[in-house]
Amino acid sequence: MFEYKINKEVSLKLEDYTDSKGLFDLVDSSRSHLSEWLSWVDKIQTENDIKESIRRDLIDFSKQEGMYFVILYKGEIVGTVGLKYFQWDVKSAEIGYWLAPDYLGKGIMTEAVKGVMAYGFDYVSLDKIEIWAAEENLKSRSIPERLGFVQEGMRRNNELIKGTYHTMMIYGMLKSEWKTVNS
């Protein structure tokens, strides 16, 4: 219920407190894989930490600063995707995502991000969507590249992961470009 069916196997559901156990178990069992590029993973030690992060996400939602979804694959939670860092003056937001390692290579994330792009451009009326990824995180960078985002530049040393600075690549797609791609 309250799902957004993207295709037969993939759907999105607004993240709420009923997801806390499912998300915690997934993060906990994918810990070593996820923590390579996600600095928040080490802070999630109990289901309560997930509940607290859901609470923050829902407050973001109430302020129109973010929208967070769990990705369901054949009914199972396999990751999350969200629109965040809304800049309403320029009608822009960033898509962020992570997927448990067992579900990589099935095209799930590409479909999920396409779904959120449609949601963001059509439903929320954004004019631009960005995706940021660390320079060396090729798996993450492949999503915007596959979806036709423009690589606009980078910000050097803009992320700290396990004590090392990483340069972030900035990808962007304007609504006009998306319409061309989708027509």
Residues in the site for its own copies, rule: CB under 8 A? 1-4, 12-14, 16-18, 55, 58-59, 61-62, 64, 87, 89-90, 92, 115, 118-119, 123-124, 127-128, 130, 150, 152-160, 165, 170, 172, 174
Please report how close the Cβ of residue 59 comes to its own copies at its closest, in angstroms: 5
Q: How many CB atoms lie within 10 A of CB 134?
A: 20
Please report how close the Cβ of residue 105 comes to its own copies at its closest, in angstroms: 26
Return the number of the residue (104 or 161) whose C-beta is nearest its own copies. 161
Return the number of the residue (32 or 89) whose C-beta is nearest its own copies. 89
Return the number of the residue (104 or 124) whose C-beta is nearest its own copies. 124
Give the three-class secondary structure for 37: coil
Which stretches of the chain are assigned E, i.e. beta strand? 3-5, 10-14, 66-73, 76-87, 92-99, 128-134, 150-161, 164-174
Please report how close the Cβ of residue 102 comes to its own copies at its closest, in angstroms: 25
Return the number of the residue (30 or 166) whose C-beta is nearest its own copies. 166
Q: How far is CA 74 from the centre of its chain?
A: 19
Please report how close the Cβ of residue 151 comes to its own copies at its closest, in angstroms: 8
On whether the CB atoms of residues 24 and 95 are closer than 8 A, the answer is no
Exposed, middle or buried by CB within 10 Å (0-12, 13-18, 19+), for 149? buried
